[in-house]
Amino acid sequence: MATVEKSDDGGSLVPTLVSVLGGISLVIVSLLAFRYTISDQATEAARLDRMQQYVYWSQPFIYVLAGLLATSGDVRRAPVRAPIIGVFLGSMAFMALRRQEMLPSDAGSLTWLLTAGALFTLGGALLGALMGERTGTAAWVVLLLGIGVFIYAYLNLGSVSGMVQREVIQRAQGMTMAMTTEPVPDALVQLVDPQTQRVYYVGRTNSSGRFLFSHLAKPQFVVMVQDPLDRSVVISQEVRVEPSITGGTRWVTFALPSVVRDAGRIFE
């Protein structure tokens, strides 16, 4: 008597659906988390550069995790479906970033995301097949490892702060009456990449002549200060950015050219 085998095709779609939905959620969360790693003072050049670096190390964790989720209850089909899931997640991340103009228009980023999505998701599925019943534990380890790497990267972001001031000479009838050091408010301050010469961060001094740039990932910048009284005068100084976790970068002080103020007549 012939026996009828019950098809498990319907059940095998559940791990795939969990993998896709979980991957989509993690992609969205990772892109939202990027906002906490970059300052509002960043220029477009800085955002593009940082996002490329961020995508290269953050997305592989998601793809591996998606591959592991795909093997849950469907070890046999997971390696076949995993690359397709990875390509879908990679293309989704690319479209979301391009819509926000956070990736360059060249095809390099798309190629990397699609290739990494297929390979890392396949790697996750193969790892899940090897782990067997411990696939869930492996998924938690990958998730916690990804969160740990993000926290480490966040804590190692640096900052550059300082003050802009100038010497003010008080004169009356050609005689120097007093010399004081005063803060310079509203001075344009820029952080320039010493290698590409591109401006990465732009800010201005406050009423106390102070400025602060935070969430910096690059190890070195050239700080350029423009004199608000004479825009042709620009003072620059190269600084090495130290991670905030180690205490941050040493305070930088800029002295603009001195100015002379008329104190009026000494005797009337």
Query: What is the residue-wise DSSP string for 137-176?
Result: HHHHHHHHHHHHHHHHHHHT-EEEEEEEEEEEEEEETTEE
Q: Of 89-93, 115-119, 130-134, 209-213, which range is least confident? A: 130-134
CB-based contact 111:49 (threshold 8 Å): no
Chain mean pLDDT for the chain: 87
CB-based contact 151:244 (threshold 8 Å): no
Query: Token pair of 145, please?
Result: 């490892």
Confidence of residue 176 (pLDDT cuts 50, 70, 90): low
Per residue in 220-248, pLDDT (tens digit) is 999 999 999 998 999 999 999 988 777 67
Per residue in 90-128, pLDDT (tens digit) is 999 999 998 888 887 667 888 999 999 999 999 999 998
3-state secondary structure of 238: strand
Please tell me whether the overall predicted TM-score, pTM, comes out greater than 0.85 for this model: no
Query: Of 191, 182, 235, 196, which is closest to residue 212 (Cα–Cα)?
Result: 191
Confidence of residue 173 (pLDDT cuts 50, 70, 90): low
Confidence of residue 4 (pLDDT cuts 50, 70, 90): very low
